[in-house]
């Protein structure tokens, strides 16, 4: 299989830097809890937190709505919960991609019920054509067409996460 580059490593680095500045400005004077959604958001989150200039902590959650498939099942499963309470904290959820919106919508509702001071979301990739909910992320790296993407943390059957760019598998 070949991979067609959709977003280059350089474009990603520049946009992550811009997002880091924007988030830093929005949270100036406040501590931030950044929650990465495993496993796909790890690469994006690692680069993003190094571009954020306000004090922050990190935690992780694992959610699944895909299993081994390339399309969401519509059923969201919580595989790993947070290690700490979020009540009264400024929380930023970091996710690799939003397509149907079901996972992030579920996650946002779940975390909102835990009474954070603020709750926002940052996604590297947005596929609005696939949206099945009204959920809109607060920070978006790139809006992409409805193609199955890999690289920069995103996988296909647990492979290709290590690619420094976002690409589309071609036969």
User: Sheet harboring 2-7: ordered strands across?
Assistant: 2-7, 166-170, 149-150
Note whether residue 57 is domain-resident: yes
Q: Which of 26, 59, 96, 99 is catalytic?
A: 99
Q: Which residues contact 55 (CB under 8 A, 6 or more apart)?
A: 31, 32
Global pTM? 0.92
Note whether residue 106 is domain-resident: yes
Note whether residue 3 is domain-resident: no
155 is catalytic: no
Model pLDDT, residue 111: 98
Per-residue pLDDT of the chain (171 residues; tens, 9 = 90+): 799 999 999 999 999 999 999 999 999 999 999 999 999 999 999 999 999 999 999 999 998 765 555 555 567 888 999 999 999 999 999 999 999 898 899 999 999 999 999 999 999 999 999 899 989 999 999 999 999 999 999 999 889 999 999 999 887
Helices within 3-56 (DSSP H only): 9-26, 42-49
Q: What is the CATH number of the domain that holds 142?
A: 3.40.50.2020
Note whether residue 161 is domain-resident: no
Note whether residue 79 is domain-resident: yes
Please count the structural domains in the chain. 1
Model pLDDT, residue 66: 56
Model pLDDT, residue 171: 73
Q: Which residues pair with 62 in a beta bridge?
A: 38, 80
Model pLDDT, residue 76: 81
Note whether residue 115 is domain-resident: yes
Note whether residue 165 is domain-resident: no
Note whether residue 30 is domain-resident: yes
Model pLDDT, residue 170: 86
Residue 83's domain comprises: 8-146
């Amino acid at each position: 299989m070949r991979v067609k580059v959709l977003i280059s490593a350089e474009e990603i680095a520049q946009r992550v830097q811009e997002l880091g500045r924007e988030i830093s400005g929005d949270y100036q004077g406040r501590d931030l809890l950044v929650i990465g959604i495993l496993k796909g958001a790890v690469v994006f989150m690692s680069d993003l937190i190094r571009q954020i200039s306000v004090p922050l902590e990190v935690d992780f959650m694992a959610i699944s709505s895909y299993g081994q498939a390339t399309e969401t099942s519509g059923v969201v499963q919580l595989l790993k919960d947070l290690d700490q309470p979020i009540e009264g904290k400024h929380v930023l959820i970091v996710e690799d991609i939003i397509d149907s919106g079901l996972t992030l919508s579920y996650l946002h509702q779940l975390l909102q019920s835990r009474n954070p001071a603020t709750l926002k979301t940052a996604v590297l990739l947005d596929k609005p054509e696939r949206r099945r909910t009204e959920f809109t992320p607060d920070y978006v790296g790139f809006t992409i067409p409805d193609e199955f993407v890999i690289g920069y943390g995103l996988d296909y059957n647990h492979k290709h996460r290590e690619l420094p760019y976002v690409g589309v598998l071609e036969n």
